[in-house]
Amino acid sequence: MTTSTTVPPSPVPLSPTDTFWADADRHLVRYAGSGEFTRKIIDHAAGSFLFTEDGDRILDFTSGQMSAILGHSHPEIVATVRRQVGSLDHLYSGMLSRPVVDLARRLSETLPAPLEKALLLTTGAESNEAAIRMAKLVTGRHEIVSFARSWHGMTQAAASATYSAGRKGYGPAAPGNFAIPAPNSYRPDFTTADGELDWRRQLDFGFDLIDAQSVGSLAACIVEPILSSGGVIEPPVGYLAALQGKCRERGMLLILDEAQTGLCRTGNWYAFERDGVVPDILTLSKTLGAGLPLAAVLTSADIEQEAHDRGFLFFTTHVADPLVAAVGNTVLDVLARDRIDERATELGKFLRRGLDSIAERHPVVGDVRGRGLLAGLELVVDQETKTGSDELGALVTRRCLELGLHMNIVQLPGMGGVFRIAPPLTATEDELSLGLSILDEAIGDASAQFGL
Catalytic residues, which ones?
151, 224, 257, 260, 286, 420
Q: Residue 442: is it exposed, middle or buried by C-beta count within 10 angstroms (0-12/13-18/19+)?
A: buried
Q: How far is CA 8 from CA 3, 12, 68, 279, 438, in A?
A: 16, 12, 52, 71, 48
- How far is the C-alpha of 304 from the C-alpha of 372, rounded, in Å? 32
Q: Is 368 left (phi over 0), alpha (psi -120 to 50) or beta?
A: beta
Determine the Cα–Cα distance for residues 171 and 75; give it in Å rounded to an integer.
Answer: 45
- What is the rounded distance in angstroms from the CA atom of residue 410 to the CA atom of residue 405? 16
Could you give the CA distance from residue 68 to residue 71 in angstroms, rounded to a whole number? 5
Task: Give yes or no for a contact between 410 and 229, defined as CB atoms under 8 angstroms apart.
Answer: yes
Q: To 10 degrees, the CA torsion angle through 162, 220, 420, 67? A: -100
Q: Tally the residues of the chain.
A: 452
Report the alpha-carbon distance of residue 145 to residue 342 in Å, rounded. Answer: 33
What residues contact residue 298 under an 8 Å CB cut-off, 6+ apart? 107, 108, 111, 115, 116, 117, 118, 119, 281, 282, 283, 284
SS3 277: coil
Alpha helices (H) in 338-428, listed in sequence order: 340-361, 390-403
